Structure 1
């Protein structure tokens, strides 16, 4: 509603144009009243980067850029929202209770964007092939460079046997079947012990059937950048003319670093209440990869858990009520592709269920969720280069 004292709009600012931010914007756009509310998305990139499509985009020279790099044009639906492209450098809260406004987000341009309620979903930052530049030209150059690296290499070593490493190996084998692909994993099995051994072993068997090599209980010694071989921690040398790191990302939480009271853990994650309000800052919410919550970081948890809680609670705060929707965690579910036609899925209900190629292909492998995602943000389901 409008403030009785200042007769002004109440402004919600969402920081982060990734999957979390887009999902919150979609949810709020259908609930906010244009007569009383403003909605602003602040994003470091001019377009939405749909990360689940990244590995196929890099491995497949024929994949359209718009399968991952999507315009924000229709994400507000009929609500008159605004997209501001810029990097948030800090958050300034208004400590004057009588002033009513929550504060400002400060952009690298020096612009200050006022907010009443702030939602932070800045995601993770990565190294190597997933370190996409923010600008459009840099993004396209990055894709071109990595496609060339993969195409011109014969012995590719992927460091990390988590979901990214597994899926990347399958994508490379799909589009470059003659290449020698090896996963080096520090653990005795793929993934982590969050998942049952039977599922981890099943994934290993599926990859080996495709000719993907796996080396367990090992770590990388030299970088392999200027050598035809890669030296492992044990002293073993393996052929390597392209080394790809596939370890987990780091939370992108620098703008929250100087908030008082402090909101970050020693690992850089945001401390939140079950309402997903930032500890000590009731008009700021956080979700996605950046929050300190005891669960695996996964897109499905954001879409079907975090964002619903945040949208409901933002609406209550705008109405002058206390947030009361709580996040209780999500069922562990992991859908891992093995190229376009297969993979393995784990659903953590009862004693846990595992599914193979057919269901995984239907759920994700066929188009890595691109069609569904594009339709959700108001684009034609089939990507094309003119987007």
Structure 2
């Protein structure tokens, strides 16, 4: 009998989703499937801005989703908890010293966040961090958020909602919030909602260095002096790919993202085609959004199955539309669907779709809960 083919998927929401989708198509006599994640639970980041600001609803109890139901009973697949520190040809190495062999590898380690979204791996330590930030937000009279992308916008919205007496500033380098992917009318509408809640916007300006301590005073590039009890970095994450540097440096872009072909296969220098990548780590001209992982999975799944059976992957990924919904507290928000003439979604629709539930129930369902 031929040896089993080992499929290893490393980390992240995208990796878990692919593992769950792939498992029913595998034959236990021919394949093994291992999902490696550094935590025993998935952190649903779209909910974490509210989780960090307030204990209201204790959303962390539902937004941190265990991985024990990824695979249906009797189906191929197991979860291994460990941090991958190195990849070599044919194996991944864990911090514990364990080596996990692979015939096919999928990289899905997502983003590395800074500041209040940089959670410890240990759950009890992560809880302590969350509680610490909640206390800081409760005590803060003035907060400066550096970055006016979706994280900065939503953080400001949560603070303004739960602590309306707190003065919140957003400093953003571009002349409008978000970036040029979205129409000016959308970016202006979001700004208008924030300003109606008392958020002060400093657009087209920069904070070149955030204070080493969480409180302090900065002078922006335009000369605006801002003092705050809390400075929150919201400049966006970076790809979580440091563990790949010794594997094949040619696959990493200057940004740290992993280069991929349209089939989402990684162009290895040794010519092999057995490594795929998806999610935030891929170097692809699109906005980094959680929902994109489903589209990535729809490409990798048939391609990986084809490769397992000796075929050639042919399905290609194409960047789709760039919709967005940002929350502004529990009852606010704004959405844009770039279809037809461009459909705008006001506060009621946006809050109904996202702000109230933050997609927590849908996410838990995708993890088997």
| TM-score class normalised by the smaller sequence | over 0.9
CA distance in 2, matches of 1:254, 1:322: 30
User: Which residue is 2:225 aligned to?
Assistant: 237
Q: CA deviation at 1:287?
A: 0.7
User: Which residue is 1:69 aligned to?
Assistant: 64
Aligned with 1:137 (options 120, 124, 131): 124
Is 2:276 the counterpart of 1:285? Answer: yes
CA distance in 2, matches of 1:238, 1:328: 43
Q: CA deviation at 1:226?
A: 7.3
CA distance in 1, matches of 2:216, 2:317: 49
Q: CA deviation at 1:114?
A: 0.8
Secondary structure of residue in 1 paired with 2:274: strand
Is 2:349 the counterpart of 1:355? Answer: no
User: Which residue is 1:40 aligned to?
Assistant: 34
Superposition map of 1:233-312 within 5 A: 233-260=221-248, 262-280=250-268, 281-303=272-294, 305-312=295-302
Greater CA drift, 178-187 or 346-355: 346-355
Aligned with 2:146 (options 159, 170, 183): 159
What whole-Å deviation, never above 9, does each CA across 1:352-385 have from its counterpart, x for those lacking one?
2221112212321111100111122122xxxxxx
What whole-Å deviation, never above 9, does each CA across 1:210-263 have from its counterpart, x for those lacking one?
111111121125635376543222222123110000011111112221234721
User: Which residue is 1:97 aligned to?
Assistant: none
Closer, same or farther in 2 for the Cα pair 1:340/1:40, shift >3 Å?
same
Q: CA deviation at 1:112?
A: 0.7
Superposition map of 1:79-118 within 5 A: 79-93=75-89, 103-118=90-105
User: Which residue is 2:333 aligned to?
Assistant: 343
Is 2:9 the counterpart of 1:14? Answer: yes
CA distance in 1, matches of 2:169, 2:206: 13
Runs of 4+ residues over 3 Å off in structure 1: 221-230
User: Which residue is 1:322 aligned to?
Assistant: 312
Is 2:321 the counterpart of 1:331? Answer: yes
Secondary structure of residue in 1 paired with 2:7: strand
> Unaligned stretches of 5+ in structure 1?
94-102, 380-387
Contact 1:222/1:231 (<8 A) preserved:
no
User: Which residue is 1:50 aligned to?
Assistant: 44
Is 2:98 the counterpart of 1:147? Answer: no
> Unaligned stretches of 5+ in structure 2?
none
CA distance in 1, matches of 2:85, 2:208: 36
Normalising by the residue count of structure 1, what TM-score does the alignment of the two structures yield?
A: 0.90
CA distance in 2, matches of 1:260, 1:252: 15
User: Which residue is 1:31 aligned to?
Assistant: 25
Contact 2:109/2:281 (<8 A) preserved:
yes
CA root-mean-square deviation: 1.6
What whole-Å deviation, never above 9, does each CA across 1:190-216 have from its counterpart, x for those lacking one?
001111100000110111111111111
Aligned with 1:197 (options 157, 163, 184): 184
Closer, same or farther in 2 for the Cα pair 1:31/1:359, shift >3 Å?
farther
Superposition map of 1:145-224 within 5 A: 145-220=132-207, 223-224=210-211
CA distance in 1, matches of 2:76, 2:355: 35
How many residue pairs match? The answer is 363
Contact 2:142/2:166 (<8 A) preserved:
yes
Contact 2:9/2:35 (<8 A) preserved:
yes
CA distance in 1, matches of 2:345, 2:59: 30
Contact 1:91/1:105 (<8 A) preserved:
yes
CA distance in 2, matches of 1:172, 1:153: 10
Normalising by the residue count of structure 2, what TM-score does the alignment of the two structures yield?
A: 0.94
Q: CA deviation at 1:183?
A: 0.8
